[in-house]
Amino acid sequence: MSYGQNVPAPVAAEKGLVLEYKTTTAEGAEMLSKREVVYVKDEGNRKIVGIKDIGTPLEGMSQEQFDRLSTTEYVITDDSWYIDVIGKTGNMMKEMMEAAGEMEEAELFKNIDIRVDAGESRNPVFPNVMSPGESCEFDPVKIKVKIAFFSVTCEIRYEMYECIGTESLTVPAGTFETYIVEQQVFVKQKSLLGGDKQREYERTWYAPGIGEVKTQSLDKNGIMVEETVLNAITRGVERRQ
């Protein structure tokens, strides 16, 4: 399979586009979710795309706060793309603390100073298209969020990111020309309250101009525990109550 030149990034970049996904667990449980392209900003040599998870705010959280928390920002150039992981992590912590500060039982968190320090870390940058056998290496992303009297550190390390093949893949939303990436990501978090670390294994089918068409979450033995497929694509901003 050959994509030719000027291949668009595997990111939906049309404002108002709604992607519906169907997730099935190994036990057979099913769940539908939707993502909407809410803005596309053209900045000359790059585009900034915001894609929001459609859902309902948690108790104590405003719709505006939820919209900011559930929006992921993508940066696209002629030959590469990346997710603003550093910015999203910092914004998430700030929004969570602001939401807590609006609750009567959380007076402690009101008007606190929240600082995000990523040091020299940079967001991992991915090529727009990959060929079988091609792999990428990235420096670890280290983020420290300081919240008044305590801090939380998070390290994200890509241990593997490799294209294992291509496929003309048919899912409920249609047929797409895809390239398949296997990735292994190590995530470690630490604070005064303790720490946590885990490895995430995924196999993803990417389509140029669309994004994830199918994703399989795997256990450490390579056995699938969950699969998500693109179920439908609609155009035009959805009318929601």
Domain locations in the chain? 18-234
pLDDT in tens, 97-137: 555 555 444 455 555 566 778 888 899 999 999 999 999 99
Asked whether the predicted pLDDT for residue 6 surpasses 80, the reply is no
41-50 confidence digits (pLDDT tens): 999 899 999 9
Closest Cα partner for 73 from 84, 63, 86?
84
The Cα-based distances of 210 to 34, 89, 129, 195, 223 in angstroms read 14, 24, 12, 36, 26
CATH of 18-234, one of 3.40.640.10, 2.30.110.10, 3.40.190.10, 2.40.360.20: 2.40.360.20
**Which stretch of 26-40, 53-67, 83-97 has the lowest confidence by average pLDDT?**
83-97
